[in-house]
Amino acid sequence: MKVYKFGGASVKDAGGVKNLYSVLNKTGIKNTLVVVSAMGKTTNALEKVIESYFANKTKTPPELLQIKAYHFEIIEGLFTINKKEVIDDVQALFDELQDFLKYNKAPNYSFVYDQVVSFGELISTTIIHHFLTAQGIFNFWLDARECVKTDDYYRAANLDWENTQNLIKNAVAGKEVVITQGFIGSNANNFTTTLGREGSDYSAAIFAYALNADSVTIWKDVPGVLNGDPRVFSNTQLLHQISYREAIELAFYGASVIHPKTLQPLQRKEIPLYVRSFEKPEAAGTSVSKGKPLVPHVPCFIVKKDQVLIQLSSIDFSFIVEENISYIFNLLHEYQMPVELIQNSAISFSVCVSNKYKRLEELVLVLRSRFNVEVIENVDLFTIRHFDEKAVKSIHQKGKKILLEQRTQETAQFVLSDTE
Ligand code: ADP
Ligand code: ASP
Ligand code: MG
């Protein structure tokens, strides 16, 4: 079996869904499990629904009507006859979502979040299931929540590998074409959970791992993995071949083309990963596999925006050593600040973090009781893998103030202020 993953951008309108069908047709439809995300920016829109719901629980969130109109427009663009079944199924999902919002009594934001955002994937796969059926492709719609089992950590649930593997194997056995959702799963009490934003790539890897799949292909709006995000860097080049290790490093440093968790399950079973263009399915794209050298061997650029640089120094000129550092790290963990970069000297310690959960102020307050603290917000963290002097120069030439620079053998990193 092979696993395909189509992200939101690939199915953002009726043309996208038709293209998904054409990609399947061109590349061989048999023995394929297709993981699909929510259409276009539906997850973002559902996040707005949740915000409106918490602001006023008695009113139907206005964004919900727009989401509904968007999906029914896509249905209009896909089906001319035999619309009833798809309309009924999609309507039933919207009714279920509205009922949830009407009757829910649980105050937990993250719980509500997962129960609501998961409808994006349920709706998209329902439409695609019916569309493929209408094209004469018999396909099985699998509710991923029946087999992707997780803990209760809503919004970033951790997988129960043992159960998940068995359930996936059983659910998929004997099926030729399966359509299922990325991003979603369920906990031991069968409440819906999600695997974290952009988690559909990871779902594809989970299914591939359980099924010992021959390969995973993620179909993107780019030709493959490039040596930089084309939205940020100009003259990017396609990486034809990279190793799992390189892909993990790139994803870890923030190359958002692959979700960082995707690579680990695949490399454990040496399942090759292909990143290809859904606009040019005949092109080979990028192949990610074990121990392969980077081809072409070029510097790779990654930027993480909106970071925070926290610079600490000791109040009494005492050294910042193990005890202080472990205290700082415990606080960073407690205040849920993912650490992107650290640098220390005898009496100072700098750390670049993401203020993901908006807890910076609380953290800084605690730090000030023990250190002199300087905080610089809105900084950009640039990483260059396989840097050379020309690549480093291109960062210096941006004309922005370099607040911190760090080099190891393979990787150079720069924290740049957003002012010139
Ligand atoms: P999906 O539709 O699967 O969710 P994403 O939008 O998450 O797709 O990922 C594709 C996007 O990733 C591209 O449009 C591109 O802007 C961005 N991207 C970031 N880094 C890279 C890179 N190194 N190579 C290719 N694309 C990249
Ligand atoms: N729909 C989810 C998101 O937008 C998961 C994904 O697309 O990977 O985050
Ligand atoms: Mg994505």
pLDDT tens digits along 62-121? 999 999 999 999 999 999 988 999 999 999 999 999 999 999 999 999 999 999 999 999
Task: Say if residues 376 and 419 touch (Cβ distance below 8 Å).
Answer: no
Residue 200 scores a pLDDT above 70:
yes
Ligand 2 pocket, mutate which of 42, 43, 118, 201 (most atoms under 8 A from CB): 43
Report d(CA 18, CA 7) in Å as an integer.
14
Q: For residue 296, is the peptide bond before it cis, meaning its omega torsion is within 30 degrees of 0?
A: yes
226 lines ligand 1 (CB under 6 A): yes
At 420 the pLDDT is 66
Task: Say if residues 185 and 157 touch (Cβ distance below 8 Å).
Answer: yes
Q: β-strand 411-416 against 402-407: which pairing, if any?
A: antiparallel
Residue 419 scores a pLDDT above 80:
no
What the chain holds in terms of domains, given with CATH numbers, is 2-221 (3.40.1160.10), 300-417 (3.30.2130.10)
Q: Relative to the CA of 9, which ligand 1 atom is closest?
A: 2
Q: Which residue has the higher pLDDT, 57 or 139?
A: 139
pLDDT tens digits along 16-62? 999 999 999 999 999 999 999 999 999 999 999 999 999 999 888 99
Confidence of residue 368 (pLDDT cuts 50, 70, 90): very high
Mean pLDDT estimate for the chain: 95
Task: Kindly give the distance from the C-alpha atom of residue 199 to the centroid of ligand 2, in angstroms, as a whole number.
Answer: 6
285 lines ligand 2 (CB under 6 A): no
Please give the sequence-ordered ranges of beta strands (E in DSSP) within 200-294, or none if there are none: 215-220, 241-243, 273-277, 286-289
341-370: average pLDDT: 93
40 lines ligand 1 (CB under 6 A): no
Ligand lying nearest the CA atom of residue 182: 2
Ligand 2 pocket, mutate which of 198, 202, 207, 219 (most atoms under 8 A from CB): 198
At 117 the pLDDT is 98
Q: Which residue has the higher pLDDT, 12 or 318?
A: 12
Report d(CA 38, CA 20) in Å as an integer.
14
Ligand lying nearest the CA atom of residue 194: 2
119 lines ligand 2 (CB under 6 A): no
Residue 10 scores a pLDDT above 70:
yes
Report which protein residue has its CA nearest ligand 2's atom 8.
Answer: 198
37 lines ligand 2 (CB under 6 A): yes
Residue 219 scores a pLDDT above 80:
yes
Q: Relative to the CA of 219, which ligand 1 atom is closest?
A: 3
At 307 the pLDDT is 96
Ligand lying nearest the CA atom of residue 36: 2
Q: Is 83 exposed, middle or buried (0-12, 13-18, 19+ CB in 10 A)?
A: middle
Confidence of residue 418 (pLDDT cuts 50, 70, 90): confident
Q: Which residue has the higher pLDDT, 149 or 397?
A: 149
Residue 108 CA from chain centroid, whole number: 23
Neighbours of 9 (CB within 10 A): 16
Residue 268 CA from chain centroid, whole number: 20
pLDDT tens digits along 262-299? 999 999 999 999 999 999 999 999 999 999 999 999 99
Give the range among 106-115, 159-168, 338-347 with minimum mean pLDDT.
338-347
Report d(CA 200, CA 176) in Å as an integer.
21
Report d(CA 293, CA 247) in Å as an integer.
11
Report d(CA 6, CA 27) in Å as an integer.
14
Report d(CA 420, CA 413) in Å as an integer.
18
Query: Among the residues of 56-199, which ranges form H helices?
Result: 62-78, 84-103, 109-117, 119-134, 161-172
